[in-house]
Amino acid sequence: MDFETVKQQSGRYVMDTYARFDLCLVKGKNATAWDESGKQYVDFGSGIGVNSLGYCDEGWTAAVTKQACTLQHTSNLYYTLPYIEAAKALCESTGMDKVFFCNSGAEANEGAVKIARRYGALHHGKDCRNIVTLVNSFHGRTLTTLAATGQQVFHEHFLPLTEGFVSVPAGDLGAMDAALDGSACAVLLELVQGEGGVVPLDKEYVQAVADLCRQRDVLLMLDEVQTGVGRTGTLFAYEQYGVKPNVVTAAKGLGGGLPIGAVLADEKTGGVLSRGLHGSTFGGNPVACAGACEVLKRLAGPGFLSDVARKGRLMKQRISAMPGVKEVRGLGMMLGIVLEDGLSAVDVAAKGIQNGAIFLTAKTLVRLLPPLTITDEEMERGLQVLETVLTQLQKEKDA
Ligand SMILES: *Cc1c(COP(=O)(O)O)cnc(C)c1O
């Protein structure tokens, strides 16, 4: 199919909910992808942080195809082995107590919200049901996770949303203190706000919020859907913040490219959702869990995470010196590039594609979420495209 036909057919049969770039990928290997015409790209997006081991990693493909050829699904009416292995790997590598599997980030956050509501009711009465989130956060697209999302633009057109969510500005401890007034059963935070523009929270602030939560028996719930599974250079970003959450959600990079979400709960919260209170037809799917097991096994390998941190530092350093760049922020291989005034992130992404590299955006920033396995050579090629694009755009702006 030629590219014009692809666009025409997509528009004819698929709801127009996405502003897509002019690109149709057909295959990939690690951080390199090819379009339908055979043109090659370095991928600094990994499908929005999903292909944690890159495209078609050999170990991952073998694990997933083996499971697909053995038992692809049975439902949660029965036991299967892959979900047990994946949950065990998550618990043993984090010290969390129990896992619930679902299929996406939004669904994982829905599960966390249900734990919080039930915990509040059980321990502090039925009026303890509010969940405090942050302004500028992003937690998903379902009506409840939209309510949790502290960005009004996402709320428009879909009112009424689920009630019982309060959002306070990040970094404002007084506002958090006031919101935790006995009506709140949980706080839900991203440690680095992803969709909100790659905004890392301040460590002292997060630790102070964790203290408040502990003092008032409010659950600390971390949305690590984007920051989790090695993205920031540690298995979960909270390790770098020195806090111990009650609930952690994961999704994006967990399955290495298959849909899976997970709610991790500590000893205090692992038993809150008892039999019959939650479920998912696809949750714990054997093929998705086989993918997750392979991802977790590889991340636990010697030097894997420290190499993610090293590559992240290298990229930050290189990009900081490029034309048109005001600031590079983020953690590990979750980076946001603040451009100088007059330069547009969408232009950088569009020109990137023309020049053979894939970059993401977040608000007005260029966002990079390369596969964790990107090689130094791939990284170098991608950085060179970025430099070329920024130089060109800078010139056009000055002209
Ligand atoms: C992407 C994302 C979500 C939503 O995940 P979906 O799989 O798209 O439902 C939730 N929270 C954060 C922090 C995210 O980055």
pLDDT in tens, the chain (399 residues): 899 999 999 999 999 999 999 999 999 999 999 999 999 999 999 999 999 999 999 999 999 999 999 999 999 999 999 999 999 999 999 999 999 999 999 999 999 999 999 999 999 999 999 999 999 999 999 999 999 999 999 999 999 999 999 999 999 999 999 999 999 999 999 999 999 999 999 999 999 999 999 999 999 999 999 999 999 999 999 999 999 999 999 999 999 999 999 999 999 999 999 999 999 999 999 999 999 999 999 999 999 999 999 999 999 999 999 999 999 999 999 999 999 999 999 999 999 999 999 999 999 999 999 999 999 999 999 999 999 999 999 999 998
Shortest-distance Cα residue to atom 5 of ligand 1: 105
Q: Candidates 142, 195, 198, 282: which one to mutate for ligand 1, based on the most atoms within 8 Å of Cβ?
A: 195
Say if CB 229 and CB 252 are below 8 A apart. Answer: yes
Residue 144, strand partner residues: none
CA angle 252, 140, 97 (to 5 degrees): 60
Q: What is the pLDDT of residue 352?
A: 98
Ligand 1 atom nearest the C-alpha of 227 is 13
Ligand 1 atom nearest the C-alpha of 261 is 7
Question: Which among 73, 59, 47, 29 has a CA at the least distance from the CA of 293?
Answer: 59
Alpha helices in 170-202 (DSSP H): 173-179
User: By three-state DSSP, how is residue 272 classified?
Assistant: coil
Pairing mode of beta strands 357-358, 32-35: unpaired
Distance 48 CA to ligand 1 centre (A): 10
The H or E element spanning position 29 is strand 25-29
Say if CB 112 and CB 247 are below 8 A apart. Answer: yes
Using CA atoms, how far residue 394 sits from 213, 344, 357, in Å, is 47, 10, 18
Ligand 1 atom nearest the C-alpha of 137 is 13
Ligand 1 neighbours, Cβ below 6 Å, are 104-106, 109, 138-140, 190, 194-195, 223, 225-226, 251-252
Token reading at 204: 């002292």
Say if CB 352 and CB 389 are below 8 A apart. Answer: yes
The pLDDT tens digits for 301-325 are 999 999 999 999 999 999 999 999 9
Q: What is the pLDDT of residue 247?
A: 99
The phi and psi torsions of 193 (rounded to 5 degrees) equal: -70, 120
Q: Model's pTM, two decimal places?
A: 0.98
Distance 52 CA to ligand 1 centre (A): 15
Q: What is the pLDDT of residue 399?
A: 87
Say if CB 290 and CB 258 are below 8 A apart. Answer: no
Distance 195 CA to ligand 1 centre (A): 9
The phi and psi torsions of 221 (rounded to 5 degrees) equal: -115, 125
Ligand 1 atom nearest the C-alpha of 107 is 9
